Structure 1
Amino acid sequence: MYAPAALLFLVLCWRVLRERRRFSNAVLLGLTALCALVGWLFQLISSGTASGTVVAGVLLAVGGLGILLLTGLLFSNGLRMVRKEGRSPTNLLSLMAALCVVGLIALLIAAAVVRTPVMLGVGAAALGVACYLSFLFLSFLAYAFLYGRLQVRRKADYVVVLGSGLSGGSKVPPLLAGRLDRAREVHARLTGRGHSPVLITSGGQGPDEDLPESHAMADYLTDRGFPGELIEREDKSTTTEENLRYSKAVMEKGNPGYRCVVVTNNYHAFRAALTARRLGIRGQVVGAPTARYFWPNATIREFAAVLVAYKRTNAAICLLFVAAGVLVWALR
């Protein structure tokens, strides 16, 4: 019963050793956990004992209560994000996720009560898509947590800090300060191992900024005693992909055989690693701590961006669930 889970776990370990910056690793981790859970539940139910059935029922009940609790937490976090960060679309993601969960529950209850062919078909399709997206999100969350705790290589030639915007046109905000402080820690650890890397601050000048982000980031570091001669400024980029692409050009020019460590926030680390792999950057990504209230909304945003990056595959699978809903409607 546990053989599929064991096989998937071995494949996962092999793929992580070869290349840890793959979204397929997250999917394999999710499938491993799912197969192990199914095997355990099957063992409990097939044992024929009352305790096995009770445990399985308790697990299902806990799952249902967990969904309700998660919905409440998303609502609370969404309202807090609006109060602290404003009503921009990106700050409403956790609130929108909570509304989607409530809408799905209402739809499933309506389908179970009305039981018309159309409602059953729509409910089946919605449930299938929701289960698929939930599986991907939990897999993404678990592997992102694991990726952030994998050991960084002992040597690196560069430490790259990704910009995230300035406040007031010229000041480093707390979110970016956390990245810079984390970069200083990584640099100190690498220097302690006998190799002093160059630190690249990456970020261009936005329309509402008085100077490029990379310059403000470099000033933040030098004001706190970091050697200015070890800093290089990449001041053209405006997106994460440009941060990485332009920083790669700087590294290749200085050292074609470079290795690097990229620093961003913990919620952003895995997606930045996926982008770095796609661009052919030789290095890993580490994350800086993020304020707790900001983390849920930011994580949902990162997951949405990953879904868009693999939009063809995800759209095809979601269409399969829609087709299954149509089949349910036709059979009724």
Structure 2
Amino acid sequence: MIKMLLRILLTAAASLFLLWFISPFFFGVRNIGSVFGAVICIAIIFRFGFAGIYEKLKVMLCSHSVTAVLLRIIQIGASAFVIYAVIVSGFMIYAMNVKPSRDETAVVLGAQVKPWGASTLLMQRIDAAERYLAQHPSSKAVVTGGQGADEPMSEGQCMYDNLTAKGIEPDRIYIEDQARNTEENIRFSFEIIRNHSLNNEVAVVTDSYHQLRARIIAHKTDASFKVSAVNTHNNMIGLSAYPTYFVREWIAVPVEILK
């Protein structure tokens, strides 16, 4: 009875998460996180929702030495992956909860600029930066992001325009408009901080799932910089894509470490 209840709960949870991973496709969000997350959910649904079929298939595979070894390898790999995912998720949760302790320099990471203005993702970062700067009137900010081929202006300039429109003093904001990725966001921002003698204790403004990778890049760029996190507040669209981006970081984090 308990095993059956557990199977039902796991199948129901996996089904809900499967819908959660698929939903970003309707908002134009397509990346490895969606695909990988959906595959994991389908595997869980098959294992626990169709336990009878799974057991028959297992018996059939175990009747042959080669397929039995392959099945065992898959089982060990799946167990190792679960352990890995839990460990990385733990570090991600830690990184997103390292709060600023004083008037750190805000480093606001860019995101896509649409033809009509800041994308939903970028506006969430702008709003988070505005809240932080309003609460820390002595803090400065570096807004960082270049201009992509399909963007009407640089991400840095877009963030500057929005923050000044929200009442943040222009002389508190430094624009970095050449970065093409997170690594360059951090590296070019640190150069601005050094060149203008700003506080090298920085608060990275980005989505919570992104904080660990940003922290790793910051440490690789200059370990003398102390890094804390200012997380965005997700709206409905942001929440719909959150698991997708979270799972994507499971892949992106080790890639960043191995660079």
TM-score by length of 2: 0.84
Give 3-state SS (helix, strand or coil) of 1:300's partner. helix
Query: Residue 103 and residue 183 in structure 1: after superposition, are their counterparts in 2 closer, same or farther (change >3 A)?
Result: same
Q: Does 1:78 align with 2:21?
A: yes
Asked if the contact 1:104/1:126 (under 8 Å) is kept, the reply is no
Q: Give a deviation string over 1:24-77, Cα, whole Å, max 9, x none.
A: xxxxxxxxxxxxxxxxxxxxxxxxxxxxxxxxx95x767655542342123212
Report how far residue 98 of structure 1 moved.
2.6
Aligned twin of 1:178: 124
**Cα distance, 1:226 vs structure 2:** 1.1
Match of 1:223 in 2: 165
Question: Quick one: which amino acid aligns to residue 177 of structure 1?
Answer: M
SS of the aligned residue for 1:302 comes to helix
Which secondary structure does the structure 1 equivalent of 2:142 belong to? strand
- Letter aligned with residue 284 of structure 1: S
Number of residues of Structure 1 aligned to a counterpart in Structure 2: 249
d(CA) in 2 for partners of 1:264 and 1:183? 9
Q: Deviations over 1:95-135 (max 9, x none)?
A: 23334545777896423344221222111111111111111
CA RMSD of aligned residues (A): 2.8
Structure 2 equivalent of residue 298 of structure 1: 245
**Deviations for 1:254-278, whole angstroms, at most 9, x for unmatched residues?**
1276211110011212221122222
Amino acid at match of 2:230: V
CA distance in 1, matches of 2:102, 2:29: 41
Aligned AA for 1:81?
A: P
RCO greater where, 1 or 2, for CA within 8 Å and sep 6 or more?
2
Q: CA deviation at 1:225?
A: 1.1
Contact 2:112 2:155 in 1 (8 A): yes
Distance change in 2, residues 1:86/1:295 (3 Å): closer
Secondary structure of the equivalent of 2:204?
strand
CA distance in 2 between partners of 1:203 and 1:257 (Å)? 20
So what's the TM-score if we normalise by structure 1? 0.67
Instruction: Extract unaligned runs of 5+ from structure 2.
Output: none
For residue 134 of structure 1, give the secondary structure of its aligned residue in structure 2.
helix
Partner of residue 270, structure 1:
212
User: How far off its partner does 1:304 sit?
Assistant: 1.2
Number of the residue aligned with 1:38: none
In 1, Cα distance between equivalents of 2:79 and 2:249 = 19
1:161 equivalent to 2:103? Answer no
Say yes or no: does 1:252 pair with 2:200: no
Determine if contact 1:85/1:91 at 8 Å carries over to the other structure. Answer: no
Change (3 A) 1:238 1:120: same
Question: What is the CA–CA distance in structure 2 between the aligned matches of 1:242 and 1:311, rounded to whole Å?
Answer: 17
Give the direction of change, closer, same or farther, for the CA distance of 1:253–1:142 in structure 2 (3 Å limit).
same
SS, match of residue 118 in structure 2: coil
Superposition pairs for residues 197-212 of structure 1, below 5 Å? Answer: 197-212=139-154
Amino acid at match of 2:128: R
Runs of 4+ more than 4 Å apart: 60-66, 86-91, 100-108
Task: Identify if the C-alpha distance between structure 1 residues 237 and 261 changes in structure 2 by more than 3 Å, giving closer, same or farther.
Answer: same
Deviation at 1:84, TM superposition (A): 2.1
Work out which of the two has the higher radius of gyration on C-alpha atoms and give 1 or 2.
1
Q: 1:251 to 1:310 in 2, by over 3 A?
A: closer
Q: CA deviation at 1:230?
A: 0.9
Asked whether the equivalents of residues 134 and 168 of structure 2 are also in contact (C-alpha less than 8 Å), the reply is no
Share of identical aligned residues, percent? 21
Q: Given residue 149 of structure 2, which amino acid in structure 1 is its aligned partner?
A: P
1:218: Cα distance to partner?
0.4
The answer to whether the 8 Å contact 2:112/2:121 transfers is: no
In the alignment, is residue 287 of structure 1 matched against residue 235 of structure 2?
A: no
Secondary structure of the structure 2 residue equivalent to 1:294: helix
Partner of 1:260, secondary structure, is strand
